[in-house]
Structure 1
Amino acid sequence: MRALVQRVTKASVTVDDTVVGQIDHGMLALIGVEADDDAARADKLLHKLLHYRMFADDDGRMNCNLQQVEGGLLLVSQFTLVASTAKGLRPSFSSAAPPAHGRALFEHLVDAAGRAWPHMATGRFGADMQVALVNDGPVTFMLET
């Protein structure tokens, strides 16, 4: 699994002109699921999301995690993260999970995140979503399991 994470001052997801998820200060995580991913990888990714030190401490160093700053977590499925772009001028999605598998693992991640962290929101799997964010820093990392 892959997550493109961004430290944000705010972020939201809109579907059909309705905001379905939003957070203030925290982390926006765009989630890509590959065909060989499983629940164990999703659990490992959640651990990284909650504990990755990308927020500033009192000295301005990235030493604090999402929980320490009591930030929001916005999870958004994005299958294009697992595209192969090494060859040609068109992405290949051959390594992406089939929709049913991707949905199951994304929902597993969302359920586990909701149990582990109360300040969590999500987009809608498979929907045409508009994601708005203010990247703080900017700070962006690719996390993989």
Structure 2
Amino acid sequence: MRRRAYGIAAVVAVVNYSHFDDEGWTPTPFAVGSGMASLLSPWLWGLHTRRAHDMQLLRQELRDETGATFDRRRKRAFPVRTWRAQRWSIEHSVRDPREAWTGYHAERAARLAALPGGRLRTALAVLRGLDLAPRLRQPSPRRSR
């Protein structure tokens, strides 16, 4: 269907161009403009209908919303942390950038605190091939019988 729309648009573009060109198909600004506008019309209508459909889905809450959107200065200063905080905000359905930033950093601090001896010692232990699994396990709560 899309190919047919572009085919019809190409025919209309040739007709519009032929109406406004000079002798011998010599291009004029208006001929080129009207021909290009006709040729691009299926693409432009596609943009419009996709946007309208997306807005309808958002109103009906059937479309996923993106997470928090961070400032470009923060992205430039902390690219990895910003990317991880954005992923955290998507996972936890948070749209506020400040809340996403503090939530990610709180989770990050808790994860780093669980490492035995800090990040550097843990990284060195992993590089040496030591098994950290027993140290990282949390004691399971005992059930009373």
TM tier, shorter chain?
Answer: under 0.3
Answer 1 or 2: which has greater helix percent. Answer: 2
* TM-score computed with the length of structure 1 as normaliser: 0.20
Answer 1 or 2: which has greater strand percent. Answer: 1
Task: State which structure, 1 or 2, has the greater radius of gyration over its C-alpha atoms.
Answer: 2
